[in-house]
Amino acid sequence: MGREMAADRADLVIVGAGTIGGWASYFARTSGADRVIVVERGRVGDGASSRAAGMVRAQGGTPTTVTLGRWSIEFYRRQFALLGTDSGFRELGYLILATSEDEERAGRERVAMQRGIGLDVRWVDADEAVRLDPCLQVSSLRGASYSPNDGCIDPVRNVRAYSLAMQAAGVELREGCGFTGIETTSTTSGKRVTGILTDTGPIETSRVLLTGGPQLQSVGELIGVPIPAGAVRHQVAVLEPHPAFQVDRKAMAFDLSGGLYWRLEEGGLLFGMSNPQEPPGPARSIDWTYLEAMRRRLADFLPVTEGLELRKVWAATIDYTADHQPILGPALSADRGPIEGVTVASAGGHGMMWGPAVARIAADLALEGKTSLVDVSPLGLDRFDAEGRSRLATDPIALPFPKSPHPALPRERGREMSTRR
């Protein structure tokens, strides 16, 4: 049977085969959706999903993001028993560092909030932080929040895991199939989706889930839905192996004020960063000047890294939102009217960290219009004004992405290096 004959109707069509779209398709199929089709312009996991750093934490800055992180970690832990494959989760523990009095005060308040909702987390002084990572320079910090259950995954292995899960569940994946629009019918309250358009032909459906990470804004533009999910360069590097890093466990760390994080990787040290001063937009080239500045900052915390050679370095375009929180809810057209049957899902730059939970919620919303995982009613598109500003407080535990309240997508600023992971 040819593609044209088979590609006529689905219970749910998901746009994008990244972490959110991939896991959401598995959750939707195993929740009872009969035919689930995922359309992907490129190849599965081609974008940021395979180029992430893999950091996973439940130490969110709000009760909602704590829940998203904790649910995702629990899912990563039970993947092998559930699927016979996994994303390679490793429990390493995570230190979120405080280098000033203000950061310490905010950190202690955050720990109190997190403990109040049951998270295993505590405040540690500088000496205890150094015991958790003997490479740390004790004079560089005042203390840190610490959760022993946080850890990391292997992003490439994660793409493999959800690809195998999709296949086992009977999800139909169409790579090289670009989304170009939707078909709708008028209702008393506005519009309802009746199908999607692709460059290989239409698909009839009454349910559509839009994902797409840093491309989500342009996906929305195709159907007249403003989605203030920006795109920005993110850089990751791995230092050469060193005896200090050839251990089974060492706490990961996040220098919150500098937007710099690090963890063990292949006998060396992986570190990542984003520059809040550069304009938003797709970018895949390496900013060597900024990378070297972050290497110097890293050496202030970890003197052992000074002089170590780079083993790998790559850059990827990742997504973000103005309040550093996910987008989960119905699609709203430019006049703020809903398009019934169309759901929007973005992890807001936290695809590895919150991806499974965001995908689970997205599948629930697409199929049932509700979810029991967490209250996501504040996380819809209606929280943004016409300039992309959010009425929600910003989650304080996030990379310092550009401060522009209305992320735009200007021309691409470079070509990706062949050394990307």
Tens of pLDDT, residue by residue over 46-89, are 888 888 999 999 999 999 999 999 999 999 999 999 999 999 99
pTM: 0.93
pLDDT tens digits, one per residue of 33-49: 999 999 999 999 988 88
What's the average model confidence in pLDDT over 373-378?
97
Instruction: Please determine, for residue 346, whether its predicted confidence score (pLDDT) is greater than 80.
Output: yes
**Which pLDDT does position 140 carry in this prediction?**
82
* Beta strand spans in 280-399 (E): 310-321, 327-332, 338-346
What domains appear along the chain, each with residue ranges and CATH number?
3-50+156-229+323-383 (3.50.50.60), 92-149+231-321 (3.30.9.10)
Question: What's 13's DSSP letter?
Answer: E
State the DSSP H helix or E strand holding residue 76, giving kind and residue range, or none if neither: helix 63-83
**Cα–Cα dist 144/103, whole Å:** 9
Under the phi-then-psi rule, with left for phi > 0, alpha for psi from -120 to 50, and beta for the rest, what region is 128? alpha
Task: Sheet containing 122-125: give its strands across.
Answer: 122-125, 143-147, 94-98, 252-255, 260-265, 268-273, 229-239, 310-321
Secondary structure of residue 192 in the 3-state scheme: strand
